[in-house]
Structures are given as C-alpha cells and as structure tokens.
C-alpha cells in the first residue's frame, strides 16, 4: 500500500506510523525526521532547513521534494510506503503525483488525523523522543518506564527544539494555510479517510486498521 498521513503537529502521525509499518511491512518516510537528522549532521540540506524549522515554518518545496524523490526509489520502498508529514503543500502533492506516475504507481489512501487545535499544546509540550529510533513518549499519555530514558536502549530522551507553545502557533498556522488545501486536493480524488485523532492511541489504531482493511 502507498499511504499518506496528514494532520497537524501532535495529531499522532509519528505514533501510528510504526504500528502501520510493522503490520504492512512498508517503509516509513517522515520528512520531519529526515530533516532533523540532516540538521543534526550539519549537512548542506540541514543547514538550509534549520532556520525555517526552528521558526515552525515550512522548508522550501524543492528541498523536501528532492528528499522524497530519492527515498521512494529505494528497493525497500517498492512494496509500499507511509509518507508522514509529506506532502504539506499543493505543489508538493502535484510533484508527488508526477513522481509516482513515472514509476507507474498511485497513492492508495490518505489518512486525515482530524483533531481540534486546543488539544495539541499539551501533546506537543509533553512529548519526549529517542532521536536515533524515533520512538516517541509523552510525560502524561505515554510515559517511559524511567523518566527521561528510552525503554529499549536506556539512552536519554530529548525534547524537540520546535516543541514549545510559541513555535507550535506558527506550525499550526502553516498547517491551516498550506496543508489543509492538500486534504481538499486528495478529497477531490476520493482518497481521504478521516480519523478521530483526539481519541486514545489504541482507538486511533483500530480506526486505521478498519480503513486499511476495507
């Protein structure tokens, strides 16, 4: 399957992705994770992306389209993929369609993580991540066994630099202005399935299962 996960910051895309990935053996391509890795490694791409990311703005379409074009060519992504955080503008959606058409494939489903803005600040400010695996925790909703420590590796957890109430406002603004049109773009193609992303993670997973098995 070729899936797209769309939703505002903190709506649960990164939480559901590994579950879907394991179930369907798909590759998980998260542009935010890839960009953060590039920033950490101080690559040319990372240096270009950092300023926009710190401010909660989108990085340029060219940069992210380039990353995705490279990634979906990989043999491991031929059976299918989960795009998490891409496409986020109409231009990105059109470019993706062009790329997929070249490979003779199409998007199967777009999962829309629908949720009220008001819930997101608590989710974002309580989030802790294990950078190398991408495992995500939450101080209240998904606490690690030991505070500040990854359950699997025992390595320290960190908070994302853009996970502050202030930067969240810009990220939400970018979502409403630039990414909501992408949901309409795919709605017109009849591909969108709406999820109740405000529910607990297990219930959201059950909704995802239902959509993907139908």
What does the binding site for ligand AP5 look like in residue numbers (CB under 6 A)? 7, 9-15, 31-32, 35, 52-53, 56-59, 64, 85-86, 88, 92, 123, 126-127, 136-138, 141-142, 171, 200-201, 204
Which of the residues 2, 13, 36, 123 is marked catalytic? Answer: 13
Indicate which residue of 1, 48, 160, 199 is catalytic.
160
Please say which residue, 11 or 112, places its beta carbon nearer to ligand AP5: 11
Binding at 200: pick from Zn ion, ligand AP5, none (beta carbon under 5-8 Å per type): ligand AP5
Q: From the CB of 14, what's the least distance to Zn ion, in Å?
A: 3
Helix, strand, coil distribution of the chain in percent, nearest 5: 50, 15, 35
- Measured in residues, the chain has a length of 214
Selection from ligand AP5, Zn ion, none that 148 binds (CB < 5 to 8 A by kind) is none
Active site residue 36: no
H helices of 41-133, where? Answer: 44-55, 61-71, 90-102, 120-125
Residue 7 binds which one of ligand AP5, Zn ion, none, with CB within 5 to 8 A depending on kind?
A: ligand AP5
Q: In the complex, what is the shortest distance from the CB of residue 1 to ligand AP5, in angstroms, rounded to a whole number?
A: 19
Question: Which residues on adjacent β-strands are paired with residue 130?
Answer: 135
CB nearer to ligand AP5: give 26 or 104: 26
Q: Is 160 a catalytic residue?
A: yes
Q: Crossing angle for the helix pair 61-71 and 44-55, nearest 10 degrees?
A: 120
Nearer Cβ to Zn ion, position 14 or 87? 14
Long-range contacts of range 36-45, CB-CB < 8 Å, 24 or more positions apart?
A: 36/131, 36/160, 40/131
- Helices 61-71 and 90-102, axial angle in degrees (round to 10): 30
171 annotated active-site = yes
- 88 given a catalytic annotation: yes
135 is catalytic: no
Is residue 4 within a helix (H) or strand (E), and if so which, with residue range? strand 2-6
Q: Which residues form the interface with Zn ion (CB under 5 A)?
A: 14
131 binds, among ligand AP5, Zn ion, none (CB under 5 to 8 A by kind): none
Instruction: Give the residue numbers annotated as catalytic, written as ranges.
Output: 13, 88, 127, 160, 171
């Amino acid at each position: 399957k070729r899936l797209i996960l769309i939703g505002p910051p903190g709506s649960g895309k990164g939480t559901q992705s590994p579950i879907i990935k394991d179930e369907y053996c798909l590759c998980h391509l998260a542009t935010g994770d890839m960009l953060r890795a590039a920033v950490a490694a101080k690559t040319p791409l990372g240096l270009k992306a950092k300023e926009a990311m710190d401010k909660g703005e989108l990085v340029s379409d060219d940069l992210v389209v380039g990353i995705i074009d490279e990634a979906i060519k990989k043999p491991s992504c031929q059976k299918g993929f989960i795009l998490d955080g891409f496409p986020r503008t109409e231009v990105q959606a059109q470019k993706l369609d062009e790329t997929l058409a070249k490979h003779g494939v199409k998007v199967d489903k777009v999962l829309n993580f629908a949720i009220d803005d008001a819930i997101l600040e608590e989710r974002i400010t309580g989030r802790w991540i294990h950078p190398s695996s991408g495992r995500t925790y939450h101080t209240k909703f998904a606490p690690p066994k030991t505070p500040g420590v990854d359950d699997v590796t025992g390595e320290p957890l960190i908070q994302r630099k853009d996970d502050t109430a202030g930067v969240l406002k810009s990220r939400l603004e970018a979502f409403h202005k630039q990414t909501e049109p992408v949901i309409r773009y795919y709605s017109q193609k009849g591909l969108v399935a709406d999820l109740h992303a405000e529910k607990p993670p297990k219930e959201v997973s059950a909704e995802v299962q239902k959509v993907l098995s139908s």
